[in-house]
A and B are shown apart, each in its own frame.
Chain A
């Protein structure tokens, strides 16, 4: 897990670097909540470029962090998801609250 905070725009980039399942969510959740409360960003961006796998445990994780950032008056978005992860995201309806900003999805 890595994070990068863009101070000027108050954007927190959360880069996930492992497979997301029920086993790994606990650790990822702790890291993200810690970073969010530390930087108090206006926007969080979940970066999936190093995530090869995600199941429905990831949906619960994302919704939980969305609730936190909303409470703090901010927004959330996602970038760099692979095909299968996009499929899981689309199925869950989560894209309505956390939009996906993949370049290839623009078309």
Chain B
């Protein structure tokens, strides 16, 4: 299989709340290949945890379904796709708003999307009512070491 990415992985699991920790730890272990800082890794874990929890509570409303995670690495960026075949979001704009929640009775804070958006560089929400929801998040890892291309560029400049 040829891939446009440097590395890819896929994960399917049941929408059980004890899989929340499993999902965020697995994605973090995969992201570790980019040599992120502890803080960057914690950001990714938190964003994944929010998205997976949304699938469980909102997408499937605590019924059993399958959650799919696809993660891919390209250069110093990780792209994480988290999707469910649940009930979908009626109003995505409203769902994105800080403190907005449809589950206040469950002591939900309505901060899920706000956290995903501030911990990741980009967050896309694709949702169709009764079909499901897909979240695509991207984050660039600010590597401690300069990339190979950047090194070459510097060498070229020095030599010219």
Contact = CB atoms under 8 A, between A and B. Distances in A.
Interface stretch (B15-23, B71-79, B131-139, B145-153): B15-23
Interface string A65-96: 00000000000000000011001100110000
A61 B53 contact: no
A21 B109 contact: no
Interface in B84-118: 106-112, 114-115, 118
A12 B141 CA distance: 41
A64 interface: yes
Interface residues of B, number: 26
A32 to B, nearest CB: 12
A99 interface: no
Contact of A91 (B20, B24, B56, B111): B111
Interface string B27-69: 0000000000001001101100110010011000000000000
A34 B46 CA distance: 28
Interface stretch (A2-10, A39-47, A50-58): A50-58
A25 interface: yes
Interface residues of A, number: 21
A56 B46 CA distance: 9
A55 B115 contact: yes
At the interface, is chain A mostly helix, strand, loop or mixed? helix
A32 B99 CA distance: 24
Contacts of B18: 23
Given A84-B42, A88-B46, A57 B115 contact: no
Interface string B1-25: 0000000000000000110110010
Given A23-B20, A91-B114, A91-B115, A60 B42 contact: no
Given A19-B21, A23-B21, A91-B118, 15 more contacts: A21-B21, A22-B57, A23-B17, A53-B45, A53-B49, A55-B115, A56-B50, A56-B53, A57-B53, A60-B107, A60-B108, A61-B107, A88-B46, A88-B115, A91-B114
